[in-house]
Amino acid sequence: MARKSTAVDPLRLDNQICFAVYSATHAFNRVYKPLLDRLGLTYPQYLVMLVLWERDDVPVKEIGEKLFLDSGTLTPLLKRLEAAHLVRRTRSREDERQVLIALTPQGHALKEKARSVPQSILAASECSVSELVAMKDEIVALRDRLNAVIGE
Amino acid sequence: MARKSTAVDPLRLDNQICFAVYSATHAFNRVYKPLLDRLGLTYPQYLVMLVLWERDDVPVKEIGEKLFLDSGTLTPLLKRLEAAHLVRRTRSREDERQVLIALTPQGHALKEKARSVPQSILAASECSVSELVAMKDEIVALRDRLNAVIGE
DNA sequence: TCACATTTAATTGTTCGCAATTGAATGTGG
DNA sequence: CCACATTCAATTGCGAACAATTAAATGTGA
């Protein structure tokens, strides 16, 4: 037959890795939702808290570099975390342009309640740790190549 | 030493596959942006057009099932596509609850301009087709397991 | 047939995500 | 020292994404 096989049609939705990644992001979000509701966090807020639990008193810029987000996203998000008494925002004294983000005691304490989250996600993925690590490394490598092209 | 290795700390940002997927989604978006700007589409609008280029005159519900999106997202998006004269929205005569989405001639014609997009993405990924297909299949399988847990 | 449940889109309100701009602080070259 | 560029956060505006609700059409059982 003369028709092009749908299996290799480059415009077919099911053939697009970007849609696989896009829809997997939403699937993760839906699994995280009930877990993070108990912590009073959204998923992007949870990511910011992961950064802060690793290192505290960090400028907005640095959070943005780690999460690939800009101030247009982070400023209002951080204000909501401040309103929830999880972080404090203070101008740096050495460089008044920077705003430093520090955890409050409640912010630190929330880490303990968060410890069970990764395990629940692992269970939901029905996947071995080694498989997930391998996939993660492949996806990160792809992401970094894509990001490199943007800077070109 | 007594400290837990950071390599296996489950709360470490870099160890989370969800963040790999989340950040890869944004990286894809940034690569798509200049390509889709030329078509006058956003990325979610492009996904809807992919669905319609495969099969036309489809109820909103069906688009939502294919893209894992609900009417709260699709209704305003489809109204914007209608305002751009790419689709028409008409109530089904057999079932007045359904709204059928059909391509306009301009909507059909846009497919030709879109044909170069997948190739540009492939180039940006700096990856062989077979590698991408393998990754895509893994990610889809993970997504489907996650979605299955949500319905539990 | 009729009360009731279900299905389907639309609507409302909140939170991301980003482009573009603004304004203040800092750095740099002459 | 001073004009100028750069850096950083905040702001504005728009388009998703989703929970929760609403309203209309359809389906179902007694």
Task: Tell me, yes or no, whether B22 lies in a domain.
Answer: no
Q: Which of chain D's bases lie under 7 Å from a protein CB?
A: 7-13, 15-20, 24-27
Give exposure, A125-134, as e/b (b: 16+ Cβ within 10 Å).
bebeeeebee
**Angstroms from B104 CA to nearest CA on chain A:** 19
Whether A104 and A130 share a structural domain: no
**Chain A residues 16-45 within 7 Å (CB) of strand D:** 22, 26, 29-30, 33
Cα→Cα distances B72→B60, B61, B78, B104, Å: 11, 11, 11, 23
With contacts defined as CB-CB under 8 Å, which chain A residues touch B136? 15-17, 20
Distance in Å, residue B35 CA to nucleotide C5 C1': 47
pLDDT value at residue B150? 80
Whether A32 and A84 share a structural domain: yes
Task: Tell me, yes or no, whether A14 lies in a domain.
Answer: no
What count of CB pairs under 8 Å joins A to B?
A: 168
Whether B120 and B105 share a structural domain: no
Q: Is A46 on the interface with B (CB under 8 A)?
A: no
pLDDT value at residue A98? 97
Residues in chain B: 152
| Distance between CA atoms of residues B149 and A122, nearest Å | 12
Task: Tell me, yes or no, whether A41 lies in a domain.
Answer: yes
By residue range, what is the domain housing residue A145?
A: 116-152
Task: Tell me, yes or no, whether A15 lies in a domain.
Answer: no
Mean pLDDT, chain A, rounded, equals 93
Tally of CB atoms within 10 A around A45: 19
Contacts of A19 (CB under 8 A, 6+ apart): A13, B47, B50
**Angstroms from A52 CA to nearest CA on chain B:** 10
Q: Do B17 and A68 touch (CB under 8 A)?
A: no
Whether B109 and B129 share a structural domain: no
pLDDT in tens, chain B (152 residues): 545 566 678 889 888 999 999 999 999 999 999 999 999 999 999 999 999 999 999 999 999 999 999 999 999 999 999 999 999 999 999 999 999 999 999 999 999 999 999 999 999 999 999 999 999 999 999 999 999 988 76
Angle subtended by helix axes A71-83 and A43-54, to nearest 10: 80
Three-state SS letters, chain A = CCCCCHHHCCCCHHHCHHHHHHHHHHHHHHHHHHHHHCCCCCHHHHHHHHHHHHCCCEEHHHHHHHHCCCHHHHHHHHHHHHHCCCEEEEECCCCCCCEEEEECHHHHHHHHHHCCHHHHHHHHHCCCHHHHHHHHHHHHHHHHHHHHHHHC
| Distance between CA atoms of residues A58 and A98, nearest Å | 9
Task: Tell me, yes or no, whether A4 lies in a domain.
Answer: no
Whether B69 and B105 share a structural domain: yes
Which tens digit of pLDDT belongs to each residue from A28-84?
999 999 999 999 999 999 999 999 999 999 999 999 999 999 999 999 999 999 999
To test the contact with chain B by mutation, choose from A17, A53, A127 the residue with the greatest count of B C-beta atoms within 10 A, namely A17
Q: Is A114 on the interface with B (CB under 8 A)?
A: yes
Whether B121 and B88 share a structural domain: no
pLDDT value at residue B3? 54
| Distance between CA atoms of residues A72 and A49, nearest Å | 18
Task: Tell me, yes or no, whether B93 lies in a domain.
Answer: yes
Whether B66 and B91 share a structural domain: yes
pLDDT value at residue A150? 81
What average pLDDT does range A6-13 have in this prediction? 78
Eight-state DSSP code of residue B1: -
Whether A85 and A149 share a structural domain: no
Closest CA to B87 of B75, B95, B73: B75
| Distance between CA atoms of residues A133 and A129, nearest Å | 6
Q: Is A43 on the interface with B (CB under 8 A)?
A: yes
Whether B107 and B34 share a structural domain: yes
Domain count, chain B: 2
Confidence of residue A105 (pLDDT cuts 50, 70, 90): very high
Task: Tell me, yes or no, whether B1 lies in a domain.
Answer: no
Q: What is the CATH number of the domain that holds A68?
A: 1.10.10.10
Whether B54 and B123 share a structural domain: no
Whether B140 and B122 share a structural domain: yes
Whether B76 and B86 share a structural domain: yes
A80 touches strand C (CB under 7 A): yes
pLDDT value at residue A8? 73
Q: Is B39 on the interface with A (CB under 8 A)?
A: no
